[in-house]
Amino acid sequence: MTEADNVRAIKLAVVGHTNVGKTSLLRTLTGDVSFGKVSHRPSTTRHVEGARLSVDGQALVDLYDTPGLEDAIALLDYLERLDRPGERLDGPARLARFLEGSEARQRFEQEAKVMRQLLGSDAGLYVIDAREPVLAKYRDELAVLASCGKPLLPVLNFVSAREHREPEWREALSRLGLHALVRFDSVAPPEDGGRRLYESLALLLESARPRLERLIEDQEKQRRARKHSAARLIAELLIDCAACRRSVETTAEQEQQAVEALRKAVRQREQQCVEALLKLYAFRKDDVSTSDLPLMDGRWGDDLFNPETLRLMGVRVGGGVAAGAAAGAGVDLMVGGVTLGAAALVGAIAGGALLTARSYGGRLLGKLKGRRELTVDDAVLRLLALRQGHLLLALGVRGHAAIHRMELTTPQEQNLAQRQNPRAAHPCPCPPAMVNTQSARQTESG
């Protein structure tokens, strides 16, 4: 292979029967939800479309989406009749004669587009709907494609479906001499799906290995960077919500207005995080639906010396009087300020740390002035963290060909909400793990 061949992009034709997920595979490999047109109707792709994978401005792989093969049985019969008396053409020569004839522009127009692209490519990815039975038309497709004389890598799509027939396809492919294949579900690909596919290609195209390895390395680097950025986005959401405070008069009307304002602020901030995560993973805003944070009614902490607060404070102060102020402040933060700084004040007096008393005296002053401070409950912060974590996991295994919306809820939301407030038994649709779901923590403030 020449030096020019080493620097040019590897050309890969994505081929297969109509409606097996060729365009879906391209969407997932390129991370582009808008590539091509995906539909349950057959023959959606009518022309060859291309996409390029580059690293640092250098093109490494050119992918070509081709129309679906529709009548391989008739095409194979036609090809076998093209040999003239006394001649025996090999596969590429027979296809060349077919492409020069009128049938390539009429009856077999779509198949001719596929053959031209595969002949001009370095290799082909033969996409298989693993849910389909192994039929004669698929065997004939493989026979026609093999006559191009190009390496073929079968890609088993939709292997996440319960009704897949992977063992049957493996056996059928091995009988046709195709022992190297890759499992790649374009809707729910494994995290290392791209790596496996390119490593399998490297076995068929040894000269292309350096470029494929570079692409693998770059995609791994991008994946790690996305995870780091996603963790930062979620951390910023939690910090912002934990720091969100509303100081209000102690009238019923203003209290309710404050609760609603906090609800709205938390919902909006969570939605900002959701949209940022979707953008980070190159999905659309409408790819996920969010339910409201459950039980956003909150509670007002009127009791300056709540028994549970005192119990917690007693445990924390048990190490000695000198630790009193620090322990009290910790309690005050742990219970969301329900103690209004009383724990810290008592601890400060016991430990002689008057500066701590000054820091928390403002809350007591707010109590005397008839004002309250509304903050986000710890249960809601846990809920936010788990919902975003659930979304992050879903994004990590979602292919860009997926068309169903993700639900930003988890299965235990309703159960845990009922555990905290058995009377609030409103239905809540859900997927995997959530925590306490009581929503706003309301504390007295200055």
**DSSP string covering 218-233, please?**
HHHHHHHHHHHHHHHH
Helix H or strand E segment including 210: helix 209-242
> Are residues 262 and 135 part of one domain?
no
* Within-domain flag for 113: yes
Token pair belonging to 358: 């000054």
> Given this model, what pLDDT does residue 38 score?
53
More confident residue, 431 or 360: 360
Print the domain residue range for 306: 300-375
> Are residues 305 and 250 part of one domain?
no
Domain count, the chain: 3
> Are residues 110 and 40 part of one domain?
yes
> Are residues 88 and 48 part of one domain?
yes
Angle between helices 307-317 and 342-351 (to 10 degrees): 30
For range 246-259, the mean pLDDT: 77
If pLDDT is split at 50, 70 and 90, which confidence band does 30 have?
Answer: confident
> Are residues 385 and 335 part of one domain?
no
> Are residues 18 and 128 part of one domain?
yes
If pLDDT is split at 50, 70 and 90, which confidence band does 166 have?
Answer: very high
**Rounded mean pLDDT of the chain?**
74
If pLDDT is split at 50, 70 and 90, which confidence band does 426 have?
Answer: very low
Phi and psi at residue 41, to the nearest 5°: -75, 145
> Given this model, what pLDDT does residue 33 score?
78
> Given this model, what pLDDT does residue 46 score?
54
Closest CA to 310 of 324, 326, 325, 331: 331
CA 296, 406, 260: angle at the middle one, nearest 5? Answer: 20
Domain boundary (322, 345, 375) is at 375
For range 20-31, the mean pLDDT: 88
> Given this model, what pLDDT does residue 397 score?
79
> Given this model, what pLDDT does residue 337 score?
41
> Given this model, what pLDDT does residue 198 score?
94
Cβ proximity of 12 and 63 under 8 Å:
yes
Give the count of beta carbons closer than 10 Å to the beta carbon of residue 61: 22
> Given this model, what pLDDT does residue 62 score?
95
Sign of CA dihedral 147, 148, 149, 154: negative
Please enumerate in sequence order all residues whose Cβ is within 8 A of that of 15, keeping only pairs 6 or more positions apart, or say none: 22, 66, 69, 114, 117, 118, 124, 125, 126, 127, 145
% of the chain residues with pLDDT over 90: 37
User: Per-residue pLDDT for 155 more than 90?
Assistant: yes
> Given this model, what pLDDT does residue 350 score?
46
If pLDDT is split at 50, 70 and 90, which confidence band does 416 have?
Answer: very low
> Given this model, what pLDDT does residue 373 score?
76
Closest CA to 146 of 184, 107, 175: 175
> Given this model, what pLDDT does residue 409 score?
58
- By mean pLDDT, which of 103-107, 241-245, 335-339, 364-368 is the weakest? 335-339
> Are residues 346 and 250 part of one domain?
no
> Given this model, what pLDDT does residue 32 score?
83
For range 217-239, the mean pLDDT: 94
Residue type, 259: V
Residue with tokens 């390539």: 104
> Given this model, what pLDDT does residue 307 score?
45
For 89-130, write each residue's pLDDT tens digit: 888 999 999 999 999 999 999 999 999 999 999 999 999 999
CATH number for 138: 3.40.50.300
* Within-domain flag for 283: yes
For 41-82, write each residue's pLDDT tens digit: 544 555 678 889 999 999 999 999 999 898 899 999 999 888
Please enumerate in sequence order all residues whose Cβ is within 8 A of that of 116, keeping only pairs 6 or more positions apart, or say none: 99
If pLDDT is split at 50, 70 and 90, which confidence band does 228 have?
Answer: very high
Cβ proximity of 432 and 359 under 8 Å:
no
For range 360-365, the mean pLDDT: 52
User: Per-residue pLDDT for 439 more than 80?
Assistant: no
More confident residue, 275 or 435: 275
> Given this model, what pLDDT does residue 342 score?
45
- By mean pLDDT, which of 238-252, 291-305, 361-375 is the weakest? 291-305
> Are residues 323 and 197 part of one domain?
no
For range 349-366, the mean pLDDT: 47
> Given this model, what pLDDT does residue 252 score?
74
> Are residues 171 and 125 part of one domain?
yes
* Within-domain flag for 85: yes
Any long-range contacts for 280-284 (C-beta under 8 Å, 24+ apart)? 280/226, 280/229, 280/230, 280/233, 281/226, 281/230, 281/395, 281/396, 281/398, 282/31, 282/32, 282/33, 282/400, 283/33, 283/395, 283/398, 283/400, 284/33
Cβ proximity of 172 and 134 under 8 Å:
yes
Closest CA to 23 of 1, 2, 39: 39
- By mean pLDDT, which of 74-88, 120-134, 136-150, 167-181 is the weakest? 74-88
